[in-house]
Amino acid sequence: MLSDVEIARNATPIPVTEIAEKLGYSADELEPYGKFKAKVPLPRGEGKAKLILVTAMNPTPLGEGKTTVSIGLADGMCRLGLNACLALREPSLGPVFGIKGGACGGGYAQVIPMEDINLHFTGDFHAITSANNLLSALIDNHIKFGNALGIKEVIWRRCLDLNDRALRVVEVGLGGPVNGVPREDGFVITAASEIMAVLCLASSLADLKRRLGNIVIGYNAEGGEIRARDLKAEESMTVLLRDALRPNLVQTLEGTPAFVHGGPFANIAHGCNSILATRAAMTHADYVVTEAGFGAELGGEKFLDIKCRKAGLTPSCVVLVVTARSLKFNGGVPKTEASLENLDALKKGFENVKRHLNNLKRFGQRVVVAINRFYADTEAELELLGALCRECGADAVITEGFARGGEGAEALAKKVAELCALPAPPVDFTYPEDASVEEKVEAVAKKVYGAGSVSWSEEALAHLEKIKSNPEYARYPVCIAKTQYSFSCDEKALGAPEGFDFLVRDVIPRAGAEFIVVIGGSMLLMPGLGASPNTDRITIDTKTGEINGLM
């Protein structure tokens, strides 16, 4: 069987100008980056397309294939003669060189050019990193030259689009007065930076500049907030982000248009592609397949409670991706035995899917379960999984986009189109906009995660008091950072744990993104590399320049 890289390399991509024509763009509206990727203009209007959210059960080391299902679904809808396209996030170099690998789908359900998208693409991540670190440089420069703003505490952090645990806490300004004023600093990964969130949630260039100016960088001796605009930073930051704000257009292996733009992680950020890319897709297609990161209690919750609330979006259908082998893993089967038939473990592990289904119904959404079929799945396992879904009131469709591309996802596409023909149900948010931060966190922890209680560290309580002193934050949603592997803060608590205590370790205001980051348990905003990172498997042929191992 061909590898993902070989499949992508054997593809014959269509020039991006022709992909753009399918969506109604003229050649003059494109800013090409080579033959097969381009920037497109900012959307005009909101668009009328049916929006389809793809989310999943909690991820496991076995992989669930959410992006693969999203791509297969869009290809399947196009095979049915429907005008469909994708709106996905850009991959981060952190996972590409870390454990997860690339994020362009797999098998015969990929977006291409895969190597470009997984690496530097159109430079958006680099622009975000530069804008973030320019602000950091301006902060230290201001302190060096007299500190007229009276900056006492800096909460802004530098960023880098790589996993590097050694940068979580650093000392800057060392080596004498010529290098500035010594202080403790740290790095977050670019995907978790506020600049990434700002770019993904901005509605225009003017809104981007407004949000950048609103960023809180620290406090003075009286506890008063100091913003990026106080440093006159927002103009130069906007200059760096002007081109990055424009959505990127690429394609699938089957020529389905794909907007790939923005890349926040759902475990430490809000986990959705940019609002502008979603709007562009909804303006130029009739059906838009989009994805929210990790499990439905992370990316799905944030898509609905943050992105839909902010942008006024309403999904017509939600697709929940599950696999038989991941359910067996949740049911206690070791990774090495997950390919063996085990109906008891599958049924036990289904409790994870059941809670996700109940949560999505609580949001008022119509859900179809996509059973992403793997080669070792048995007919008995697939039949049991379908029956368990039906007991929960959800249709389940077996999909094989990885092995067969759009053809393998036609059954899922038909079911999704059937649900999209119905009026889109309103989103029933987890909490009202005017609830307190504590009430919002408790609502998500108890209603979505299944927690029995919420506790707060002393540091979190101290930072919460600062946030509560500013009435501006009263309307902001909460963006909870926690492990993706469990509903709880304990990554080893698989299945559907309940009644646990959810620990809030810290609370950070994101006035530019206009949400409150709540850090649960031991979650960190700068990942580290594993003992055997993906760099061990990535190679390049120095004669041909061909790259292998990105997937």
Phi-psi region of 209 (alpha: psi -120 to 50; beta: other; left: phi over 0): alpha
Q: Give pLDDT, residue 437.
A: 96
Q: Six-digit token pair at 61?
A: 């080391």
Mean pLDDT of the residues in the chain: 95
- pTM for the model: 0.96
Tokens 């949001």 -> residue = 363
Residue-range domain boundaries for the chain: 4-123+244-420, 125-233, 437-520
Q: What is the CATH number of domain 125-233?
A: 3.30.1510.10
For domain 4-123+244-420, the CATH architecture is 3-Layer(aba) Sandwich (3.40)
Q: Give pLDDT, residue 19.
A: 97
Instruction: Count CB atoms within 10 A of the CB of residue 64.
Output: 21
Q: Give pLDDT, residue 6.
A: 81
- Say if CB 431 and CB 444 are below 8 A apart: yes
| Residue 102 pLDDT grade (very low, low, confident, very high; cuts 50, 70, 90) | confident
Give 76's contacts (C-beta < 8 A, 6+ positions apart).
401, 406, 407, 408, 409, 410, 411, 412, 413
Q: Six-digit token pair at 154?
A: 């800096």
- Give the C-alpha separation, 481 to 210, whole Å: 25
pLDDT above 80 (res 260) = yes
DSSP string, 22-60: HHT--GGG-EESSSS-EE-PPPSS---PEEEEEEESPP-
Helix (H) or strand (E) holding 88: strand 84-88
Q: Give pLDDT, residue 43.
A: 95
- Give the C-alpha separation, 157 to 200, whole Å: 19
Span of 4-8, 15-19, 328-332, 392-396 with lowest mean pLDDT: 4-8
Tokens 């952190």 -> residue = 94
- Say if CB 289 and CB 52 are below 8 A apart: yes
Topology agreement, domain 125-233 and domain 437-520: no
- Say if CB 51 and CB 314 are below 8 A apart: yes
Tokens 């806490």 -> residue = 169
Q: What is the mean pLDDT of residues 439-455?
A: 98
Q: Give pLDDT, residue 357.
A: 98
Widest distance between CA atoms in the chain? 72
Q: What is the mean pLDDT of residues 148-164?
A: 97
| Residue 150 pLDDT grade (very low, low, confident, very high; cuts 50, 70, 90) | very high
Q: Give pLDDT, residue 46.
A: 86
Query: φ and ψ at 52, to 5 degrees?
Result: -115, 120
Distances (CA, A) of 344 to 314, 340, 375, 458: 37, 12, 20, 43
Instruction: Count CB atoms within 10 A of the CB of residue 423.
Output: 8
| Residue 490 pLDDT grade (very low, low, confident, very high; cuts 50, 70, 90) | very high
- Give the C-alpha separation, 258 to 248, whole Å: 8
- Give the C-alpha separation, 159 to 234, whole Å: 17
Q: Give pLDDT, residue 7.
A: 85
Q: Give pLDDT, residue 433.
A: 95
The percentage of residues in the chain with a pLDDT greater than 70, rounded to a whole number, is 100
Phi-psi region of 228 (alpha: psi -120 to 50; beta: other; left: phi over 0): alpha
pLDDT above 80 (res 262) = yes
The percentage of residues in the chain with a pLDDT greater than 90, rounded to a whole number, is 92
Distances (CA, A) of 59 to 323, 410, 443: 10, 25, 23
| Residue 551 pLDDT grade (very low, low, confident, very high; cuts 50, 70, 90) | confident
Q: Give pLDDT, residue 381.
A: 97
Q: Tell me the pLDDT tens digit for each residue of 493-508.
A: 999 999 999 999 999 9
User: Per DSSP, what are the bridge partners of residue 188?
Assistant: 159
pLDDT above 80 (res 87) = yes
* Domain 437-520: top CATH class: alpha beta
In terms of DSSP bridges, do strands 151-154 and 216-220 run parallel, antiparallel, or are they unpaired? antiparallel
Q: Tell me the pLDDT tens digit for each residue of 492-549.
A: 999 999 999 999 999 999 999 999 999 999 999 999 999 999 899 999 999 999 898 8
Span of 3-12, 306-315, 321-330, 419-428 with lowest mean pLDDT: 3-12
